[in-house]
Amino acid sequence: MAKGYDRSRSASSPGHAAPTAQELRDAIDSGLTGDKVAFPDPAASPLGTDDEAAGTSDSPPRVATAFRQEVRTHAASAVRIRPLSPNIQIYRPQLTSVLSIANRITGMLLSVGAVVLVVWLIAGASGPHAYAAVRGAVASWIGQIMLFGFTFAFFLHLCGGIRHLVWDTVHGFELRSIYIGGWVVVAASVLLTVTAWIGSLFVGG
Amino acid sequence: MDRHVTRSALARAIGLGSAKSGFEHWWAERVSAIALVPLTLWFAAVLIAHTSGDYAAFIAWLRNPLAAILMILLLIALFHHTALGLQVVIEDYVHTGIKLVVIVAVRLGCFALATAGIVATLGIAFSGWAGAP
- Please tell me which residue of chain B has the smallest CA distance to A118: B117
Distance CA B76, CA B35 (A): 10
A72 and A124 both lie in a single domain? no
Of A53-67, A83-97, A110-124, A151-165, the least confident:
A83-97
Chain A interface includes B53 (CB < 8 A): yes
Q: Please tell me whether the interface predicted TM-score (ipTM) of this complex is above 0.90.
A: no
- Please tell me which residue of chain B has the smallest CA distance to A128: B55
- For residues A177 and A159, is the Cβ–Cβ distance under 8 A? no
Q: A37 pLDDT band (50/70/90 cuts)?
A: low
CATH number for the domain harbouring residue A134: 1.20.1300.10
Is residue A129 helix, strand or coil?
Answer: helix
A50 and A114 both lie in a single domain? no
DSSP letter string, A167-183? HHTT---SHHHHHHHHH
Q: What are phi and psi of A162, to 5 degrees?
A: -65, -35
Of A61-75, A190-204, B105-119, the least confident:
A61-75
A60 and A138 both lie in a single domain? no
Q: What residue type is assigned to position A205 of the chain?
A: G
Distance CA A187, CA A144 (A): 22
> pTM for the complete prediction?
0.72
Whether residue A81 has pLDDT greater than 90? no
Inter-chain CB proximity A132 and B116 less than 8 Å: no
- All domains of chain B in start order, with CATH: 22-127 (1.20.1300.10)
Number of domains in chain A: 2
Containing domain of residue A40, as a range? 1-82
Q: Is residue A123 part of a domain?
A: yes
Chain A interface includes B52 (CB < 8 A): yes
Mean pLDDT of A152-157: 98
Residue A171 has a pLDDT of 92
Chain B interface includes A168 (CB < 8 A): yes
A78 and A119 both lie in a single domain? no
Q: Which residues of chain A form beta strands (DSSP E)?
A: none
A7 and A77 both lie in a single domain? yes
Distance CA A189, CA A196 (A): 10
- Please tell me which residue of chain A has the smallest CA distance to B32: A161
Q: What residue type is assigned to position A79 of the chain?
A: V
